[in-house]
Amino acid sequence: MANLLGDEVTPFFVWGMYSEKEKPVQQYEILRTTINDSTVVNIYDHPNTDTRFYLSTPLAYYKRIKDNNNQDPTISFLQSKLQHRYAQIRFLERSLFNTGPQQAAFLNWYARYLQQVTGQPVRSLQIDVVKAHYTDKALVTDAVYPFEKWERP
Amino acid sequence: MGKAVTHINFYTPWQQTRIARVVFALLLTSLIWSFFSGNLVHQLQQPVLKYPYVDLTYWVMHWFGIPEFITTHFWVACLFDLALFTFCILPLLYPGKRVFIWAFIILYFIYFITFNTFGAHHTNHKIGWLMIAVPFTAANYKTFNFLWRGLRYFLLFIWADAFLWKFFRFSWLHPDQALLILKKNAAALLYYEPNSWKAGLYQWALQHPGWINAAYLSGIVMEGLFLIGFFTYKYDRYLLLLSILLPVGFWLIADANFVELMVLNCTLVNFHKFFVRVQ
């Protein structure tokens, strides 16, 4: 029943596997991280997909939070679904979602993780957003703009 | 040889022991791979962003603060990983000791939740590794056989479910569905490694969208074929082949990783052929 409704409660997953209709996109977004103003992090340098997952997905989620006025998108989602009843689960926010402390600590964690997987001391990070579009042959970069900057305290 | 109960050729306790060793050897290999890639709990560097989404299992785990407690205390994380390895190795040595297997499942479950929630994406990643150990908790070989067959149905359900969702969402009729998936998933690879062989494949696919869309439709048909497995065991060898082809196809076409699901393919293997006791 949960599967039919599209709800997931581990280990009862919905195995959609790209069943959702994809909408055409004009511009794609790639997050590019530069370590110590010199080394661009290429996630494909790491053969283990788990490492690529940890290098890319938390950063992408952090950007989603920032784009959502510093509010965890899951909170926004639940607020829109539950309306006034959201107040009944508000007490769970601190234990279940990413509020101020997690957001403030994120770049420190990202620097630590990068230091471990690259084996390179990380003194600073520059994260840029790359906007790109497809021609019928290749991906073409349109613009690059800064998103976040971090320096070791 | 196995003992026949109804139409199922049961694995004997001796064969069960050997299958357990195969499965736990695979599990150990995956843990060693995680260790050398820096993805065990103590190597996650005390991650902060979590993503329990609206999954009640994750909510309960976070409510009790279990993932946070393990990851924020480095020595607890080290002990946790040590225990995970220990209880993966012990069933290899003593496959009959169910307490070791239960311990492994509990630890791996915590690892599964911790890894995925701090990965900030609600995913079924590593579920195959978690589920494959469950049948070995059975108290007798008959229960083991039923659980093993149950796990086979779980695998069939995964692919059949993927088919049904695509079929009833009409994504098979959606124009350029496969091409749009490829464009979304391949953007990073095309940006970082435009000269790699895989980027070359994607660039070719961009120019020949018909082929990529045809591959997507073929994949849907392959997923649909798993429905047959609910009615007969006769075609398991072909389903085994498909359950290898599909994750490889996802990886090749969509740069998506379903490879770890392949551990569940063990349930489609006829181990009677490999483990024959000489009388």
Q: Is residue A1 predicted with pLDDT exceeding 80?
A: no
User: For residues B126 and B257, what is the distance between their CA atoms, to the nearest angstrom?
Assistant: 11
Q: Is residue B257 predicted with pLDDT exceeding 80?
A: yes
Integer-rounded Cα radius of gyration of chain B: 21
Of residues A40, A146, A148, A60, the one with CA closest to residue A104: A148
Of residues A45, A31, A137, the one with CA closest to residue B196: A45
| Number of Cα atoms under 13 Å in the Cβ half of residue B73 | 10
Q: Phi and psi dihedrals of A130, rounded to 5?
A: -105, 125
Q: What is the pLDDT of residues A103-143, one digit of tens each?
A: 999 999 999 999 999 999 999 999 999 999 999 889 999 99
- B230 secondary structure, DSSP code: G
Task: Among B86, B115, B137, identify where a domain stops.
Answer: B137
Instruction: Spell out the SS3 assignment of B50-90.
Output: CCCCCCHHHHHHHHCCHHHHHHHCHHHHHHHHHHHHHHHHH
- One domain, residues B274 and B175: yes
Q: Does residue B41 fall inside a structural domain?
A: yes
- A115 secondary structure, DSSP code: H
Q: What is the pLDDT of residues B64-79, one digit of tens each?
A: 999 999 999 999 999 9
Q: Does residue A11 fall inside a structural domain?
A: no
Q: Does residue A7 fall inside a structural domain?
A: no
Smallest CA–CA distance, residue A19 to chain B, in Å, is 4
Of residues B180, B102, B167, B88, the one with CA closest to residue B138: B102
Q: What is the pLDDT of residue A10?
A: 81
- Of B37, B55, B183, Cβ closest to residue A9: B55
Smallest CA–CA distance from A94 into chain B, residue: B63
Smallest CA–CA distance, residue A37 to chain B, in Å, is 17
| Inter-chain CB proximity A61 and B51 less than 8 Å | yes
Structural domain for B113, as ranges:
1-137
Higher pLDDT, B133 or A100: B133
Q: How confident is the model at residue B106 (pLDDT cuts 50, 70, 90)?
A: very high
- One domain, residues B115 and B186: no
Q: Chain B within 8 Å of A139 (Cβ-Cβ)?
A: yes
- One domain, residues B275 and B199: yes
Q: Does residue A147 fall inside a structural domain?
A: yes
Smallest CA–CA distance, residue A153 to chain B, in Å, is 17
Q: Chain B within 8 Å of A57 (Cβ-Cβ)?
A: yes
Q: Chain B within 8 Å of A124 (Cβ-Cβ)?
A: no
Cβ atoms of residues B141 and B11 within 8 Å: yes
Q: What is the pLDDT of residues B230-249, one digit of tens each?
A: 999 999 999 999 999 999 99
Q: Does residue B142 fall inside a structural domain?
A: no
Structural domain for A59, as ranges:
25-151
Q: Chain B within 8 Å of A56 (Cβ-Cβ)?
A: yes
- One domain, residues B125 and B3: yes
| Inter-chain CB proximity A132 and B191 less than 8 Å | yes
Smallest CA–CA distance from B177 into chain A, residue: A22
Q: Is residue B6 predicted with pLDDT exceeding 60?
A: no
User: For residues A10 and B132, what is the distance between their CA atoms, to the nearest angstrom?
Assistant: 15
- One domain, residues B160 and B239: yes
- One domain, residues B113 and B241: no
| Inter-chain CB proximity A44 and B193 less than 8 Å | yes
Smallest CA–CA distance from B117 into chain A, residue: A58
- One domain, residues B43 and B164: no
Of residues B130, B122, B51, B56, the one with CA closest to residue A9: B56
Whether the ipTM is more than 0.90: the answer is: yes
Q: How confident is the model at residue B8 (pLDDT cuts 50, 70, 90)?
A: low
Q: Does residue A119 fall inside a structural domain?
A: yes
Q: How many domains does chain A have?
A: 1
Chain-wide mean pLDDT for chain B?
92
Q: What is the pLDDT of residues A67-99, one digit of tens each?
A: 999 999 999 999 998 889 999 989 998 899 999
Chain-wide mean pLDDT for chain A?
91
Helix (H, G, I), strand (E, B) or coil at A24: coil
Smallest CA–CA distance from B258 into chain A, residue: A17
Task: Among B82, B106, B137, identify where a domain stops.
Answer: B137
Q: Is residue A102 predicted with pLDDT exceeding 80?
A: yes
- One domain, residues B10 and B130: yes
Of residues B111, B98, B99, B114, the one with CA closest to residue B27: B111
Cβ atoms of residues B230 and B224 within 8 Å: no
Q: What is the pLDDT of residues B143-196, one digit of tens each?
A: 999 999 999 999 999 999 999 999 999 989 998 999 999 999 999 999 999 999
Q: How many domains does chain B have?
A: 2
User: Chain centroid to CA A63: how far?
Assistant: 6
Q: Chain B within 8 Å of A147 (Cβ-Cβ)?
A: no
Q: What is the pLDDT of residues B16-67, one digit of tens each?
A: 999 999 999 999 999 999 998 889 999 999 999 999 988 899 999 999 999 9
Q: Does residue B71 fall inside a structural domain?
A: yes
Q: Chain B within 8 Å of A91 (Cβ-Cβ)?
A: no
Q: Does residue A44 fall inside a structural domain?
A: yes
| Number of Cα atoms under 13 Å in the Cβ half of residue B278 | 0
Provide the Cα torsion B60, A13, B229, B169; round to 10°. 160
- One domain, residues B191 and B59: no
- One domain, residues B42 and B63: yes
Task: Among B109, B137, B165, identify where a domain stops.
Answer: B137
Smallest CA–CA distance from A41 into chain B, residue: B192
Q: What is the pLDDT of residue A39?
A: 94
Q: What is the pLDDT of residue B1?
A: 47
User: For residues B145 and B159, what is the distance between their CA atoms, to the nearest angstrom?
Assistant: 22
